[in-house]
Amino acid sequence: MNEFMKLLWSEYKIPICVVAAILAIFYLANLIDASLNPWTLWRREWADTTQGVTHHRLGSYKTEIACSEEQWKRLKLAADAIKETTTALPNDLKFLITYIQEGHTIFGFRKSTFSTLKEKSSLPAEMLLPEINSEKSYFCAPTSTYYGLWPYYTPRYDAGSDVLYRLGEKTLAIRAKQLLGE
């Protein structure tokens, strides 16, 4: 093995050094960009028709405030695009899907698959509630990780679940307040 390594190094020293230099320059360029723009805006999308969640990097920003401002602009543009799309639908299709914005997430709802059954009166009411069939979130996250040494960070933040968790807490608090008679 040692002879093979010596032969490999003696024959391919220059190409190995060139490839290593290119990789080092690429890494350093990304590391410098991450240190100059420490905040990244992400779009997280999920739909029940796709194979899981997708994350899209939308831009890098010098401050968290600049990133947050762009996040709300993008969210408003997405909400406006959805409104235009749904208003363009014929009236008989508008009841199929509706969209609700909560926090920095837009949820798409459709009628329950059980609501089309003929025997729906025998089903529990929870099974007839609308179902979430899509989600689009915009959020800011640090550009790098591992003490700033890894500039290729992709967050696995589940923004939709976080919003639903907070919304569930609010709903339960309102119900508890009603039960306590406050």
Does the predicted model carry a pTM greater than 0.95? no
Structure confidence by residue, pLDDT tens digits, 10-64: 888 888 899 999 999 999 988 888 888 899 999 998 887 767 788 889 999 999 9
What is the structure's pLDDT at 182?
62
- 146-182 pLDDT, tens digit per residue, is 777 888 888 888 888 888 888 888 888 888 888 887 6
- The answer to whether the beta carbons of residues 162 and 155 sit under 8 Å apart is no
What does the alpha-carbon distance between residue 181 and residue 178 come to, in Å, rounded to a whole number? 5
Written in H, E and C, the secondary structure of 102-158 is ECCEEEEEECCHHHHCCCHHHCCHHHHCCEEEEEEEEEEEECCECCCCECCCCCCCC
Closest Cα to residue 135, out of 65, 92, 75? Answer: 75
pLDDT in tens, 123-149: 777 777 888 888 899 999 888 887 778
Q: Where are the domains of the chain?
A: 37-95+138-180
Residue type, position 34, single letter:
A
Contacting residues for 68 by C-beta, under 8 A, at least 6 apart: 140
User: Is the separation of the CB atoms in 3 and 11 below 8 Å?
Assistant: no
Segment 66-124, tens digit of pLDDT: 999 999 999 999 999 888 887 777 766 666 778 888 888 888 888 877 777 777 677 77
If 0-12 CB within 10 Å is exposed, 13-18 middle and 19+ buried, where does residue 30 land? middle
Q: Which helix (H) or strand (E) holds 41?
A: strand 39-47
